[in-house]
Each structure stands twice: as C-alpha cells, then as structure tokens.
Amino acid sequence: MASSSSSSYLKINHSNPIPLSRTSSLRPSSTSKAPTFSRLPYPKLSSKLVFNVSTKTLIRTHPIRRFCIPHDNNPSIEVSNSEIEGDEGHRENLQQQQQEEEKEKVSLFKKRVVFGVAIGVGVAGVVLAGGWIFTVALAAVVYIGAGEYFELVRSQGITSGMTPLPQYLTRICSVICALMPVLTLYYGRIDVSLTSSAFVVAVALLLQRGNPRFAQLSNAMFGLFYCGYLPCFWVKLRCGLAAPALNSGVGAVWPILLGGRAHWTVGLVATLISFSSIIAADTYAFLGGKTFGRTPLTTVSPKKTWEGAIAGLSGCIATALMLSKVFCWPTSLLNAAAFGLLNFVGSLFGDLIESMIKREAGVKDSGSLIPGHGGILDRVDSYIFTGALAYSFVRTFLPLYGV
C-alpha cells in the first residue's frame, strides 16, 4: 500500500515481530526528494484488516508486501487474519464448554427428580406398611449409612496424626447399628442393646494391636449413637405409638383388608407429617436459597443462607398445618405449628452435622449410591435427629398423644 501525505499507517504482523535492532535500516535516502525505504527480508504479510488508532476503525486493505514507516503520528495496527480466526475458535470452544456444562446440569437435575420421586414413593409405601416391613427397611438404610459414616471417619482428613479405626471393627459397628432398630421393635426399648454394643466396641478397641487412641473410641461411640441409636426413634414413633387416630378422615375410608380405621394410628400420622415436613423444608430451603439467598448461614455449609432457612421454615410449618387439617391430628393448630417447627430444627441441624463430618473428611458426598443425590447419609441426614425430637414431642408434650 503506497504512503501518502493525508494519512499514514503502521502495519504490523503479530506473527512476525520485527526486532528493534533492524529498524536502523529503515532510513530515508538523503539524495532523493521523497523518502524511500529499503526492503526487509521478511515473509510476505497476508493481513487484510487495518486498525486505525486515531479513528478507532478497522479498514480493509489489499495484501501488502513491504513494511512502511509512517510520515506522521497517526499510527495504525494491522490485525492478522490468523489471530482473528484464533479468537473466533476460542470463543466457539468457550460456547461449547458452556453448553456442555448446562447439559450436565440439566441431566443431573433430571436424575435428582426421577430418583427423588422414586425414593419418595417407596418410602411412603414402607411407612404405610409399618411393622416389620418398616423396621427391616430402616435397618437396611442404617447399615448402608453406618458404612458410609465409618468410611468418612477413616479418611485422611479425620485420621490425620492417628491410627484409623480397624476395618473389621467398622464392619462390626455397622452390623450392630443395623440390629438396633430390630431389637427396638422386638423388645420395645434400646438402652440395654446400646450399652452392650458400646461395651463390646470399647473392649475390641482396647485389645487391638498397637497403641489405642481415645479419638478412635470417640469416633466409634458417636457412630453407634449417630447411625444406630437415633434412627431407632423412628421405630418407636411409627410402631410404638399405636393409639388410633380416631378423628382421621382418611382412616374412615381406608380398606378393611389393609387394616381399616385401626391401621391409622397416631404413630403413622405423626410419621407421615414429620416426613412430609422434612421434605418440604429441604425443598423450600433449596428454592429459597437459589432465588433469594444472599446471607450465609454458617461456615460449616457455605451454600446455606438465612433466606433459604427462612423459606424452609415457612414451608415446613405450612406443610404441618395443612396435613394436620387433612388427618385431623393434632387437633390444635398451635401444636401442629410447634410440631412443624421442631421438625425443621431437627432437619436443619442434622444436615449441618453431616456437612461438618464431610467437611472434616474433605469430601463432597458421603457416597455415590444414589445417582444425582450422593450417598445414603446425604439423603437421610435431615431425619437422623428429627425422629428423637418428634417422638419426644408427641409422647411428652401432647396430651393424649394429640388425639
């Protein structure tokens, strides 16, 4: 491109930078009237777009074959076609990555919904069945959850600086935890079996090879309490409170072949309301946190917010009140609201305690058994403490069990 007095341009090919040491050869001849420039031994430039810095515009030019020095201070920078194509390719890659991430999120959400609905239907059927079906199903969940717990406490994040629990002992503890709900249904109490189990585990730890540590004993004892003893209160609530819910309209139309009105006990109604309230608390807390969440609730679980907790509390109490009208239990709306509040507190702190254990272990999920949900503990953490609170509330604070 020929130079002119009206406008001058600096054309630079970024792929072929020109060293400063060679610019000395670009000097005008003293004998000629118009400045001329010597040709440099660089490859041909294939740029076709020129960016004028002063006017801030891109100018399309013909391919050039020489490097020119501007006559005035009106520089322009030539953009290489290869660089433009590279930028476009980089943008396309970013767009493809974003699309793949969105597809993965949608697929994960679909899995969560499908498996969540399947689990909900299965749990509802088990709760309605009650008796040994409910107890055996709970024992299976306890066994898997106990295995996940003892794997967490054996991780390097928790056992740093000490010997982890022996694997044979963790399996024994998992079996003991699974037997506790069965013993609770059979004997109607759990204190003797828990004390005996704790004694057996303590003796096994003391007789192990090496140097026993108190941290090992505390992890094992908390595992028996957390994974075995606390879930037993669901058996005491569902199967132990056998007083009939006489005012329940559902019991009046329940088929006689399935137990009739006598099947609808205080324990069944309380368990259904408690389970439904916990599900509502988790759902509303998730939706509220996603939509309005701004203020972190605690450092134990950074994703939880005060806005989500308030939404979860509102949904939990509203669900308890609505179901109390459906089942006509408890007869007082104040008691129903208090029952919903208690379920929310138990579910929230159960979730936070499990998050604390996972955070200490350095893992995101307790397992990978349920696609889209993680492990068993990730799904039942909100229920672990809630059963004891619900049973204590109905048995102690509701006159005549709220009938």
Give the tens place of pLDDT for each residue, 37-90: 444 444 444 444 555 555 555 555 545 444 444 445 555 555 555 555 566 777
Q: How many C-alpha atoms does 353 have within 13 Å on its Cβ side?
A: 19
Indicate whether 24 belongs to any domain: no
Integer CA distances (angstroms), 320 to 48, 74, 118, in order: 71, 76, 23
- Give yes or no: residues 286 and 395 share one domain: yes
**How does DSSP classify residue 303?**
T
- Token pair for residue 163? 């010997």
Count how many domains the chain has: 3
58: nearest Cα among 86, 87, 80? 80
Percent of the chain residues past pLDDT 70, beyond the cut: 76
Please give the model's pTM, rounded to 2 decimal places: 0.73
Q: Which two tokens stand for residue 365?
A: 């999920």
- Is the pLDDT reported for residue 35 higher than 70? no
DSSP 236-282: IIIII---B-TT-HHHHTS-GGGTGGGG-BHHHHHHHHHHHHHHHHH
377-390: burial string, b at 16+ Cβ within 10 Å, e else: bbbbbbbbbbbbbb
Q: Are residues 209 and 231 in the same domain?
A: yes
For residue 192, give Cα distances in angstroms to 184, 239, 337, 372, 384. 10, 19, 35, 39, 20
Do 234 and 261 fall into the same domain?
A: no
Highest-confidence segment of 7-11, 77-81, 151-155, 337-341:
337-341
- Enclosing domain of residue 299: 245-403
224-261 burial, b if ≥16 CB within 10 A, otherwise e?
Answer: bebbbbbbbbbbbbbbbbeebbebbebbeebeeeebeb
Q: What is the pLDDT of residues 254-294, one digit of tens each?
A: 888 777 788 889 999 999 999 999 999 999 999 999 899 88
pLDDT higher than threshold 90 for residue 187: no
**Pair 259, 298 in one domain:** yes
H or E, element range at 340: helix 333-361
Same domain, 381 and 275: yes
Closest CA to 149 of 214, 202, 225: 225
Co-location of 282 and 378 in the same domain: yes
Average pLDDT (24-43) is: 46
- Residue 67 belongs to some domain of the structure: yes
Cα distance between residue 364 and residue 137, in whole Å: 26
1: in domain = no
> Does 219 map to a domain?
yes
Whether 2 has a pLDDT exceeding 50, the answer reads: no
Is the same domain home to 233 and 258?
A: no
Query: Are residues 358 and 364 in contact, defined by beta-carbon separation less than 8 angstroms?
Result: yes
Same domain, 252 and 233: no
Domain boundary among 201, 220, 240: 240
Please write the tens of the pLDDT for every residue from 96-144: 777 777 777 777 677 777 777 888 889 999 999 999 999 999 999 999 9
Structural domain includes residue 352 = yes
The answer for residues whose C-beta is within 8 angstroms of residue 124's C-beta and 6 or more apart is 272
End-to-end CA distance of the chain: 97
pLDDT of residue 83: 55
- For residues 318 and 182, state if they share a domain: no
In a domain? residue 281: yes
Question: Is residue 341 within 8 Å of residue 324, measured between CB atoms?
Answer: no
251 and 234 together in one domain? no
**Do 262 and 379 share a domain, yes or no?**
yes
pLDDT for the residue 385:
95
Residue 208 burial (CB < 10 Å; 0-12/13-18/19+)? middle
CA distance 171 to 275: 29
**CA-CA distance, 23 to 355, in Å (whole number)?**
65
Which pLDDT value is given to residue 234?
Answer: 96
Lowest mean pLDDT among 25-29, 74-78, 175-179, 310-314: 25-29
399 shares a domain with 296? yes
Classify residue 111 by burial, with Cβ atoms within 10 Å: 0-12, 13-18, 19+. Answer: middle
Predicted pLDDT at 59 = 55
Whether 109 is in a domain gets the answer: no
The pLDDT value given to residue 225: 93
In this structure, are residues 108 and 75 in contact, taking their beta carbons and an 8 Å threshold?
no
Least confident of 143-147, 200-204, 273-277: 200-204
